[in-house]
Amino acid sequence: MAPLTLSTILLAIITVFCTLNVAASSDEVQALLKWKATLQSQNTTIFLPSWTHDHNLNFSAKKTVSPCNWYGVSCDDNDRVNRLNLSLSGLNGTLDHLSFSSFPNLMYLELSLNNFYGIIPSKIGHLSNLVYLDLSANQFTGIIPLEIGELGNLATLHLFQNQLTGSIPQGICQMSFLSGLALGQNNLYGSIPSCFGQLFMLSNVKLNHNNISGSIPYELGNLYNLEKLYMNSNSLTGFIPETFLNLRNLTDLSLYQNQLNGSIPREIGKLTSLKKVDLQLNNLNGPIPSSLGEIKSILLLRLQI
């Protein structure tokens, strides 16, 4: 047998790599087409026309199909799907038949402003590289799955404006890179996990228009990067934590329409970045802090009972 040359070895490695990549791409194609077959569209004339076996054929020996130029699909340098953006596409259906495990390289999943319904499958936790998840403005029901906590690289989690129920899962506290959390306009209940105070990257938190109860965790005062905090239109009780005085980057504080009592923190004027403060429709008492007059950036201030 002839000795192996360097070029022969390299050719073998390239062949194996290409074979694996073709198999991976084929798996992604099959997963997307299987899911498409379960969906419906408000406009059937433009319903994902590029999602087909006959589109973008690579006329090599294997004649593989690449999804990289399909509508809403983007790929990385290895032709693996890393982004799926079907927001505002008029789609109806569920996520039940989407094989999450077929997309190990997926980083962005954007399905907002459609008519998706049903539950958020627990297998969404298989998307271990996901950094951006937006399922907002749909009709999802059921709970936020506990497995969502397995998305350890997630930076943005938008589930607002659905019909989700149950409590906020503690697993969210495992998302140490999380900066944007929007769970508003659902039917969530229970308390705010105190471990949210460990999510030091949080800059935008929206829990508004739910049925969340209990007190505001004082640990939220640890979120030094927090800029916008919306917890209005819930059933929160207790005091506004004095630890909020640590939130020096806070621009928007919306706590209206709850059952908060006690007084407004006397030194709230230290929050010099505040632009909007809405504390109306609570059970607050005591004097209006004079330090509010020191906030030169204030644009909106609502304190009425």
pLDDT, one tens digit per residue, over 129-176 is: 999 999 999 999 999 999 999 999 999 999 999 999 999 999 999 999
Distance CA 65, CA 73 (A): 13
CB 220 within 8 A of CB 197: yes
* Residues 117 and 94: beta-carbon distance below 8 Å: yes
- Which residue carries 């949080």 as its tokens? 202
pLDDT tens, 4-52?
Answer: 554 543 343 344 334 444 445 689 999 999 999 999 987 655 678 899 8
* Domain ranges across the chain: 1-131+143-159, 191-305
pLDDT digits (tens, 9 = 90+) for 48-64: 889 987 644 444 434 56
Question: 15-31 burial by CB neighbour count: b if 16+ within 10 A, else e?
Answer: eeeeeeebebbbbbbeb
pLDDT in tens, 234-252: 999 999 999 999 999 999 9
Predicted confidence band of residue 188 (pLDDT cuts 50, 70, 90):
very high
pTM confidence score: 0.88
Q: Sign of the CA dihedral 220, 224, 226, 227?
A: positive
Cα–Cα distance between 115 and 62 in angstroms, integer? 37
- CATH code for the domain defined by 1-131+143-159: 3.80.10.10
**Token pair recorded at residue 181:** 């959390």
- State the sign of the Cα–Cα–Cα–Cα dihedral 179, 153, 136, 198: negative
Q: Do domains 1-131+143-159 and 191-305 have the same CATH topology?
A: yes
Distance CA 198, CA 190 (A): 19
Of the CATH numbers 3.80.10.10, 1.20.1250.20, 3.30.70.360, 2.60.40.420, which one belongs to the domain with range 191-305?
3.80.10.10
Single out the residue of 194, 242, 243 nearest to residue 214, CA to CA.
194
Phi, psi for residue 134 in degrees, rounded to 5: -130, 105
Distinct helix (H) and strand (E) counts, the chain: 1, 20
